[in-house]
Structures are given as structure tokens and as C-alpha cells.
Amino acid sequence: MLTDWIHWLSSQNPERLLYLLWGFLLTDSPRYVLSKILFCLWDFGERTWRWWHGHPDTEPFSYCPSVTVLIPGYNEAGVITSTLTSLWGTYPRLEIVVVDDGSTDGMGEVAQEFAATHPGVLVVRRPDRGGKPSSGNYGRLYATGEIIVSVDADSHLGPNAIWELVQPFKDPQVGGTGGALLVRNVFTSLCTWLQAYEYLNCIFIGRQLMSRLGLLSILSGAYGAYRREILERAGGSDPEPSEDMDLTMRCRRMGYKVVFVPYSQCFTNVPPTWERLTNQRLRWEDASVIRLYCRKHIELSFFWLPGFTVMNFLVWLDLIFFNVIALFIIWAWLGWLVMTIPLGQLFWILLTVYFSYLAFELVQMAVILLYSNNLKHDVMICLVLPLVFPYQTYLMLVRTWAIAGELFYRRSYEHPYIPDKVRRAQVRW
């Protein structure tokens, strides 16, 4: 079969191949691959310049503002202690506020036991669940730090994570920073293994690139930091399923920069089953782009408004094009292939797409390993590469379903992720 394919491929001229693969080339891997190659060249150039001028490769930590870490949680009694242990004592001017959002499993008591023997840890409780956005807002009332970091209750931080995360705040123009969210339960199942690769590719490398270009659109709610005054001006989080993306956008609209810090790392558990992964991605996808960027933040594209900025518009355009428009282009292209190409050739085209995708992913994998700070572990994660194409195809289907559901039915307003009382009162953008 392979030889037949090679024979078919060699019979095609380059123009014919471009004509057949236009949908794939326009929307997916080339965008990431080309940009990442440029990104590596940029770094190479910068390092060479620094070496030539005798500047040290890394600078010591010189900025030490006071930090409050907010840890909102609901029924996280089993994991909260390990999260607190990974945080406490890792930074000199640190206070930790745990928000028990009406837990029924004793999470508040478990956290209180830790707080009793560890100064600088405060536990606040609410009698009824109100959701993560309002939990964070409640905990912020007790925060005294200049920088407020939000961490999920089921995560743990890597070495010097807080130190790394706060250094960009030396620049007064920086309003928020986000760390790299990586997978902890990598080898629990094939599903988690693939997600681990996806997080390395899209978060660890992808967000570095977007941050360099000034187009970063999200600081993860699971691990992100903001200046305290920005949160006070913005009123904290809004009750959106993707409240982290919404808050990042509001911070940008205030005129601040947001920066990604790749070596400030936080490890979290990802859904181990396909069903749970699907539910999670439906929640992320339908709320993030359509609800936020086509409705709530549509003004980013209104160039006639006084607050319009080119960079925010490019962020908006990037998200709309590569998450919505590109999706439709892919489906249109697939439909065109099915209608115009004989069935016999269709298989070779799909095989060509697969190997092209694999080639592009190999380049991306090389970039991941070049920047990796845990090479052995990351090499093991990258061994799942041959399965990334079917995995991304599956996610594409989920994304399509999510976007269609949000466009026509506003399905994000029905998610059980948010408590009923809050869901009923949400603003319908």
C-alpha cells in the first residue's frame, strides 16, 4: 500500500498537490510550523547577540512583590493538602487564601488543618456553592498581596514557579502573566497522553509564540497572575465558563500587556476518559470563541470606537479565523474533495494529509524538545506523535459541535459547571 501511495504521489506535480491540499495548507499546521521556525530563529539570534556581548544567559530573580495565591475549590479534600504543600514556603512574601466554595467533603476542614500549622495560610468558606468566578472574587477580599495568583486546587507547582511568574511585573505595563500548564497524569491513559502532547505544543510553545507577538489571548485560570489593582478595576472574574479568557481580554482592553512565562510551570490532572474530555472541550469551545469573541467582546473589531487597538483586533481576528472560519474552511474543503475527487484518489489524498501533518508535527516536536526543561519526560510524551492527527481530527469534530450549539442554541448557558442559581441569572450576550 505504501508503495502504491508513493507511486501516486510521485505522479502528482507540486501545483496539483497544492490544489488538492489547499484547505489543509491554508488553515492548520503551516501556520504553526512556519511561525515556530521563525520563533526559533528569533531566539537563536537573540542568544547569539547576548553571547557576543557577554550578557549572561539567565538573569537572577530581582523582583519580589508581595503575592497572594488564591485557591478556590469545591470538593477537593483529597488533593488540597498536596497543592498547599507545593506552594507553601516557595516564595518569601507569600500568603495563601483557600476558598472553600460550599464543599460537602470536608475540604475546608482539611485546609484548616494545614493552616493551623503553616502561618500565612487563610481558609475562608461559603455555605453554598457559587461557582469558581465568584469564589475567586470572594477570596480576593482577603488578599493583601500586590500580585494575585490564581491556582486550581488540584494542581502543584514546579520549582521557582512563583518567582518566575512575578518577574515580568517589573514592567509597569504588564498587567498579567500566565504560567505553563502541563499535564501531571500523562500516562494514565492514551487520552491523557495525547492531551499531554497537546498542552506542550499549544500551551508551552504556542503561547510563548503568541506572547512574543503580543497576541496572547488567555492566561489560564488554573495558573495565572494579575496586578491587584487590575482585578479591582475589572471587578474580578465574570461568571463565564471561560472566565480566564474573558479576564485576560478585559485586562488587555484596559491597556495592559499580558505575558506568558514558559518556565513557571503548574502541573494538573486532565480528564482520563474520552467522555470527560469531550464534556470539557464542549464547555471550553462553545463558551470561548462564540460567546466571548462573537458576542461579549465583539467591540474589539469595531475600529470606529475610541478604545479600538490594532493588537486587540489582531487577537480577535486570530481567534475568530483559526477557531471558527478555518473550521468551516476545513469542512468546506473536505466536502469539495468528496464531491470532486474520485473515491480511489481520496484515500491517497488523506494519506498525504496524514504524512504532511506528521511532518509538520515533527518540526513542532523538535521545537518542543529544543525548549524543554525536562527532556527525558518530554521525549516520552512526544512518542505519541503518530496518533496526534486522528486526535486533532476528533477535537475538530467536538469543536464543530460546540460552535454550532453555541451559535444556534446558546448551549453554554446550560452547563452544569455553573450552579443553577448563577446560571439562571447570567447575562445573555
Partner 1 sequence: MAGPSDNTKNDDKALGLNSSPGDTLQDELYTTGSFSGNPEAFPQYPLHEAVKIQLPSLAIPILPNYQPDWDHKLDGRTVEVGKEGLQLKVICGELLPARSLMVGVQGKEGEFRYRQVTVVHDRPSGSHFKKFSGIYVDSGHELFKEGVLAPVPDPKTRELSYGLSPAVVEAWCKIGVLTPLSQDWVQVCPKCGGLPTYRPGCPNCGSSRILRDQMLHHFACAHVGFVRDFERDGTLVCPKCRTRNLVVGADYDIYGGACRCEECGWTGAQLEQVGLCLKCQTRFPASAAELKEFKQYRVNRLDPLALQPES
Quick one: which of 381, 368, 369 has its CA closest to 193? 381
Residue 125 or 212: the one with the smaller Cβ distance to partner 1 is: 125
Q: Does residue 73 belong to the site contacting partner 1 (CB under 8 A)? A: no
Q: Which stretch binds partner 1 (CB under 8 A): 123-131, 160-168, 209-217, 409-417?
A: 123-131
Q: Which stretch binds partner 1 (CB under 8 A): 16-24, 37-45, 233-241, 278-286?
A: 233-241
CB 387 within 8 A of CB 197: no
Cell of residue 305, nine digits: 470606537
Among 224, 236, 241, 271, indicate the residue that binds partner 1 (CB under 8 A). 236
State in angstroms the smallest separation of the CB of 222 from partner 1: 17
Residues 136, 139, 144, 149, Cα dihedral to 10°: -30
Cell of residue 389, nine digits: 492527527
CB 240 within 8 A of CB 246: yes
What DSSP line would sit under 271-318, residue for residue?
--SHHHHHHHHHHHHIIIIIIIIIIITGGGG-TTSTT--HHHHHHHHH
Q: Does residue 128 belong to the site contacting partner 1 (CB under 8 A)? A: yes
State in angstroms the smallest separation of the CB of 213 from partner 1: 31
Q: Is 145 helix (H, G, I), strand (E, B) or coil?
A: coil
State in angstroms the smallest separation of the CB of 235 from partner 1: 4
CB 144 within 8 A of CB 66: yes
State in angstroms the smallest separation of the CB of 296 from partner 1: 12
Among 9, 18, 141, 254, indicate the residue that binds partner 1 (CB under 8 A). 141
Q: Which stretch binds partner 1 (CB under 8 A): 86-94, 122-130, 217-225, 356-364?
A: 122-130
Among 25, 37, 124, 404, indicate the residue that binds partner 1 (CB under 8 A). 124
Non-local (6+) Cβ contacts of 339 within 8 A are: none
Q: Does residue 321 belong to the site contacting partner 1 (CB under 8 A)? A: no
Burial readout 77-97 (b: 16 or more C-beta within 10 A, e: otherwise): bebbeebbebbbebbeebbbb
Q: Which stretch binds partner 1 (CB under 8 A): 21-29, 124-132, 220-228, 297-305?
A: 124-132
State in angstroms the smallest separation of the CB of 128 from partner 1: 7
Q: Which stretch binds partner 1 (CB under 8 A): 33-41, 320-328, 360-368, 418-426?
A: 418-426
Q: Which residue type is seen at 272?
A: P
Q: How many CB atoms lie within 10 A of CB 43?
A: 15
State in angstroms the smallest separation of the CB of 244 from partner 1: 13
Residues that bind partner 1 (CB under 8 A): 122-124, 126-128, 130-131, 133-134, 137-138, 141-142, 235-239, 243, 421-422, 424-427
